Amino acid sequence: MKITEDDVIESLELFTRVPSFILRRWARGRTNLASRFRSQIIEGYSQLSESDRERVRAVLQMDVSDIQNILEAAHLKTGKRQLGILADPSSRNFIEINLGEIRNILSQEFHRD
């Protein structure tokens, strides 16, 4: 499955829930937000359709550079500051940290033997 800027735009409310000045602070501080929202991630993922789960898995397997390119394209189409913040190369570590944590959470919760 290929993720595009249209997928990001379709899910724009997920990116714009947080004011841009707070997102910028979290990104600069490389805050591990996923660990803070573990139960919400588990609950949300469990309620997704299989198609939406496939999208999540596709994103989790992507290279951060590719994700940021998609975010930049979506930023150019929408002008949303939050997308521009995440597309900025300085946010790479923030994205890596949170994607890694989400991978860990989902792996532990949904791939138990």
87 within 8 A of 75, measured Cβ to Cβ: yes
Summarize the confidence of residues 60-73 as an average pLDDT: 97
Q: Centre a 10 Å sphere on the Cβ of residue 36 and count the other Cβ atoms it contains.
A: 11
Q: Between vectors from CA 49 to CA 81 and to CA 62, what angle results, nearest 5°? A: 50
The pTM (predicted TM-score) of the whole model is 0.89
Reported confidence tier of residue 113, pLDDT bands at 50, 70, 90: very low
Radius of gyration of the chain (CA): 14
Q: Which residues have C-beta within 8 Å of that of residue 73, sequence separation ≥ 6?
A: 4, 5
